Amino acid sequence: MSRYIAQTEQLRSDIANLIKKTPAPVDGNVPLIETDIKLYSRAADQLRGKFGHPLQPALDQFISVLRLNDGKKISLKKFKEEFTAEWTKSESTAQKGIDYKLFQRRFRNWPEAMQAFRGLAEKLTAEPITDNNIDEVFLSSLGVMRRFDNKPENLQRFMAENRRRMLEMTKDKILFETPEAANFSFVLPATSGSGNFDMRSGYLPDDYPMIAQHWEILSDFVKRASESGIHSFVSFRKRAIQPEKVGSFDVFHYSIEVTGTMESIRKLVAILDQAFHENRVYVVRSIFLYQDDDGARTLLTPDEIVPIVLPGMTAPQMGNSPMTPGRRRRGMPQNYMPEGQMSAAEQAAQAAALRKQQEEEEKNLPYNLRSGYGETLIGKSGLCRAIIDVEYIMESGNGI
């Protein structure tokens, strides 16, 4: 009896251990599982590529042209591994530049491949690509962060040039309602008469790479906004220079106030929503929308409404009320005198006489020629004011 009890306990123990183990797949399913793993890994890589890799197509074009000295191709993964190993050998900026030039000698057609990269990259970024910055743009696409040699003057020149370019991009398209809006949430450098930059920016060298990233993001945002038809930028605000870390992603938070028609604001949001096709992910978290005042409230104030509902009666101080929306202001007669040269009684008398003269002139005109005929009084302004809270999300951990 005791032997059977012992066997039962042993079987229970064996069953418990089996339950804890991951069941082995059927032999026939092993190839299918391996195929699924490869497909899911490839899909995950493609999905991650949408988050902050706008120059990836240009890199792919570069690799498709590049050849080693022996004529063989090299994969992008292998290229990045070899480049990273070479780039990180030294901490010296000067030595990194030398190592970069030596690295290029491993390939027999580096200039040709760089031209292929440039041809496509120019279409993918708002930053103009020139012979002077092509290497910098290329290195940034590989994950090399812009540090400006830790020199404030280099950072200031970078910000000033980006600002100039963004203002040029929006010329005749979008207005800036405040000087602060035209600085895109940053403290821009002041210059002396000799063109020297004021170094008192207050930015820490450790923040330089993220400042460069902010300008890259904002320049893309402004480029897309210029295609939406919005009327003006009121303000740009960023939560912080350093992004929020969420898992393996960096999240840049912005609050941007604009004015425009309802249609143009909707178009802006739609443009941001479709940016993922170009490996940029914007998430519009909220929109606070306000209708700009168009004068309808002024039209319905007592001073203005009394003569309409009670013809022949005049509201107190009607002559000093604001100009009725939709009514054109007539020119002053030749004998009009500046108020500073008249007494209060004389001013009131002249205003009453002028008003009476204008009313008589209006009566003698056909109704369709009277001032304000056919002009919109209510709903005249189609502009809305919108505060857009938007996030830009990019994969982190790729910086060198």
Residue 195 belongs to a domain: yes
Per-residue model confidence as pLDDT tens digits over 99-141: 999 999 999 999 999 999 999 999 999 888 999 999 999 999 9
180 and 134 part of one domain: no
SS3 328: coil
pLDDT band at 1 (very low <50, low <70, confident <90, very high): low
For strand 232-238 and strand 175-176, is the pairing parallel, antiparallel, or unpaired?
Answer: parallel
Q: Answer with the one of 104, 125, 143 that is the final residue of a domain.
A: 143
185 and 300 part of one domain: yes
CA pair distance 126, 215, nearest whole angstrom: 10
CA pair distance 273, 261, nearest whole angstrom: 19
Residue 344 belongs to a domain: no
Q: Answer with the one of 100, 115, 143 that is the final residue of a domain.
A: 143
The average pLDDT across 348-369 equals 77
What radius of gyration do the chain's Cα atoms show? 34
Predicted pLDDT at 48: 84
The average pLDDT across 302-329 equals 48
Q: From 177, 163, 365, 146, select the one nearest 258 (Cα to Cα).
A: 177
Q: What is the DSSP annotation of 149-168?
A: GG-HHHHHHHHHHHHHHHHH
Per-residue model confidence as pLDDT tens digits over 324-358: 444 444 444 444 444 445 566 676 777 778 778 87
Q: Are 231 and 260 in contact (CB under 8 A)?
A: yes
More confident position, 377 or 36:
36
pTM value is: 0.71
Query: Tokens 């993220």 belong to which residue?
Result: 210
Residue 275 belongs to a domain: yes
Number of domains in the chain: 2
CATH of the domain at 231: 3.30.70.60
87 and 166 part of one domain: no
Q: What is the DSSP annotation of 94-135?
A: HHHHHHHHHHHTTBTTHHHHHHHHHHHHTTT-SSPP-TTTHH
Q: What is the DSSP annotation of 169-230?
A: HHTTT-EESSTTGGGTTS-PPPB-TT-PBP------GGGHHHHHHHHHHHHHHHHHHTTTT-
Q: From 201, 219, 338, 222, select the one nearest 271 (Cα to Cα).
A: 222
Highest mean pLDDT among 82-86, 315-319, 367-371, 377-381: 82-86
77 and 139 part of one domain: yes
74 and 129 part of one domain: yes
Q: With pLDDT > 90 as the criterion, what percentage of the chain qualifies?
A: 56
Q: Answer with the one of 98, 120, 143 that is the final residue of a domain.
A: 143
186 and 310 part of one domain: yes
SS3 286: strand
Tell me which long-range contacts 45-53 makes (C-beta under 8 A, separation of at least 24). Answer: 48/395, 49/279, 50/276, 50/279, 50/280, 50/281, 51/249, 51/279, 51/281, 51/393, 51/394, 51/395, 52/250, 52/279, 52/280, 52/281, 52/392, 52/393, 52/394, 52/395, 53/279, 53/394, 53/395
Poorest-confidence range of 269-273, 305-309, 353-357?
305-309
152 and 283 part of one domain: yes
Highest mean pLDDT among 94-98, 344-348, 361-365: 94-98
236 and 182 part of one domain: yes
261 and 122 part of one domain: no
Q: From 399, 303, 318, 398, select the one nearest 358 (Cα to Cα).
A: 318
130 and 153 part of one domain: no
Predicted pLDDT at 201: 59
SS3 284: strand
Angle in degrees, CA 84, 73, 90, rounded to 5: 15
Domain extent for 108:
37-143
For the chain, helix (H) and strand (E) counts, in that order, are: 13, 6
Predicted pLDDT at 317: 45
Angle in degrees, CA 212, 243, 384, rounded to 5: 85
134 and 53 part of one domain: yes
More confident position, 168 or 1:
168
Number of residues that this document lists for the chain: 400
Q: Are 292 and 383 in contact (CB under 8 A)?
A: yes
Highest mean pLDDT among 91-95, 130-134, 266-270: 266-270
More confident position, 199 or 249:
249
CA pair distance 276, 395, nearest whole angstrom: 13
Read off the tokens for 98: 């030398």
Helix pair angle (56-65, 76-87), 10° resolution: 100
83 and 220 part of one domain: no
